[in-house]
Amino acid sequence: MNQNDLIQHPKGGSRFGSIPDLPKHHIPGGDIYLKRGVHRSKNRGFGVAHIWAEHQKDLMRLGYTQESDVARYVADIIRNSTPIYYEGASMKAPRVAVLRSPLGLLIAEHRPLQDGTLAYSVITAYPKGQAHGVLVGNIQKAP
């Protein structure tokens, strides 16, 4: 499997939800995807491989007991109306934190897919933490 391969949503398809256009905060809209990813080192990586390597113990306590459960965990966070927080323009790419309490925090960045389509890629997701930044909107069109 390639690190940029898209992971299927538990309900089917590869889209996990959509971030609306938020022009007031210069955040382009786009669909959210979860990639196979890679874990390089602590706090370095993205996707399923990174989430599992960094947060396996915490996820297991919540009942997500194997790496293949990461997609279900991400889907459980990304729901219609999940709040979107903007972390700031100092990042290299627009970065948002999507909070779904009590399950945790999900970080996504605006990145191209393999076909060049701009979309949001899940960088990480974890059970602990607080969203920082400004509340800018809510998730739309979750499966």
Structure tokens at 97: 């934190």
Pairing of strands 38-41, 118-126: unpaired
pLDDT digits (tens, 9 = 90+) for 113-123: 888 888 999 99
CA angle 40, 118, 110 (to 5 degrees): 50
Q: What is the pLDDT of residue 142?
A: 80
The phi and psi torsions of 104 (rounded to 5 degrees) equal: 140, -155
Q: Is residue 93 over pLDDT 70?
A: no
Give yes or no for a cis peptide into 143 (omega within 30° of 0).
Answer: no
pLDDT digits (tens, 9 = 90+) for 33-69: 999 999 888 878 999 999 999 999 999 999 999 999 9
Q: Are the C-beta atoms of 100 and 79 separated by less than 8 Å?
A: yes
Q: Is residue 90 over pLDDT 60?
A: no
Q: Is residue 101 over pLDDT 80?
A: no
> Domain coordinates of the chain in residue numbers?
15-138
Better pLDDT: 19 or 87? 19
Report which listed range, 86-90, 95-99, 104-108, is most confident. 104-108
Percentage of the residues of the chain whose pLDDT score is greater than 70: 94
Q: What is the average pLDDT value for the chain, to the nearest integer?
A: 89
How far is the first Cα of the chain from the last one, in angstroms, to the nearest whole number?
24
What is the value of pTM for the model shown? Answer: 0.91
